[in-house]
Amino acid sequence: MAMESQLTIDALENGVIHVRACRAPEIRPMRRAAVHTYSVLAFHLGGRVRVEHRGELELTAGQVHLVPAGDAHRWLTASKADLRGVAFCRSCLPQDRFQELLAPLDRVRRGAFPVVELPTSRQPHVLGLLEELERELSRSSGMLPVVAESLLGLLLAEIVRAAPRDAALPDAPSIVAQALAVIEARCLGPLTLGEVARAVRRSPAYVTTAVKRSTGRSVVAWILEGRLAEARRRLRDTDELVEIIAERVGYADASQFSRLFRRRHGVAPAAWRARERALPRPA
């Protein structure tokens, strides 16, 4: 699929985790592929959906479609479809708690089949977790992020237990998959294009061209998106000074961080925080 036909979707603007219900007739064929800067778990509750994601897939009730950040995909056809999409910023999650839970997404990025079949006996429990996560996000609007993270962890645990572990993988993941994995793991530190290139043993020009061709974004843009997502989380959920947040997301120079944030969001970090906190909170 030619890159110019792809639709690149920006990062989650509000919150680390988002749940969206999608039902027919809202699910329509997509002329262009979508590329997210966040990971997606699509839980299929009913009907049928044909998806293009490393080939054509037909998804039915009880299946979960795993889409790592950067993977191009699109809906082809849908019949009486009903699904819940859980989108989340991977680099914003506590790595010590979530690393093993995210293994199925890592395997998909390396070439594993991107669909997991949930056991029939576990499907009502998973649906309950999805509904509770949706309620929690609506109720607290980010005020209790650890609760939403815990519910996401429980959903990921169900996928880990249901995912086959003995499926063969390609001998080596693609350069793009390797580069995106490095960025997700290290973007909150002092990471550069050159360091990503060294980690995957290719030249900077080769890596950024491959990533841009595959995802529509350069390596530097991917690093920036990861950092800004975590910065938004900290601005919204903590009282840390902007200078401290800048350092925690990889910028030794707070003024550089503020310039990049303003360029992306139209306002300075402190103004963005004030605006977000002034919004009414659901009861």
Instruction: Band the pLDDT of 277: cuts 50, 70, 90.
Output: confident
Which pLDDT does position 276 carry in this prediction?
Answer: 85
Which of 215, 224, 217 lies closest to 91, judged by CA? 224
Q: pLDDT tens across 89-138, in order?
A: 998 898 889 999 999 999 999 889 999 999 999 999 999 999 999 998 88
Which pLDDT does position 138 carry in this prediction?
Answer: 83
For 237, other C-beta atoms within 10 Å of its C-beta total 16
Please determine, for residue 4, whether its predicted confidence score (pLDDT) is greater than 50: no
Which pLDDT does position 227 carry in this prediction?
Answer: 95
Dihedral sign for Cα 222, 68, 27, 130, please: negative
Show the tokens assigned to 39. Answer: 């990971």
C-alpha span between 58 and 80 (Å, rounded): 13
C-alpha span between 134 and 48 (Å, rounded): 23
Please determine, for residue 144, whether its predicted confidence score (pLDDT) is greater than 70: no
Which pLDDT does position 1 carry in this prediction?
Answer: 40
For 262, other C-beta atoms within 10 Å of its C-beta total 14
C-alpha span between 80 and 100 (Å, rounded): 34
For 258, other C-beta atoms within 10 Å of its C-beta total 17
Tell me if 201 sits within 8 A of 195, measured CB to CB.
no
Which pLDDT does position 236 carry in this prediction?
Answer: 87
**Of the candidate ranges 18-32, 181-195, 247-261, the one whose mean pLDDT is the lowest:** 18-32
Show the tokens assigned to 255. Answer: 């003024």
Q: pLDDT tens across 29-75, in order?
A: 888 899 999 999 999 999 999 999 989 999 999 999 999 999 999 99
C-alpha dist (Å) from residue 68 to 177, 184, 185, 266? 10, 11, 14, 28
Q: pLDDT tens across 222-239, in order?
A: 999 999 999 999 998 899
* Interval 138-157 mean pLDDT: 82
Which pLDDT does position 94 carry in this prediction?
Answer: 87
Which pLDDT does position 145 carry in this prediction?
Answer: 78
Rg for the chain, CA atoms, rounded: 19
Assign 164 to helix, strand or coil.
coil
Which pLDDT does position 169 carry in this prediction?
Answer: 72
Average pLDDT, the chain: 89
Instruction: Band the pLDDT of 168: cuts 50, 70, 90.
Output: low
- What pTM was estimated for this model as a whole? 0.89
C-alpha dist (Å) from residue 194 to 92, 99, 123, 197, 226? 23, 25, 45, 5, 17
Which residue in the block uniquely carries the two structure tokens 């309620």?
135
Enter the DSSP assignment of 73.
Answer: B
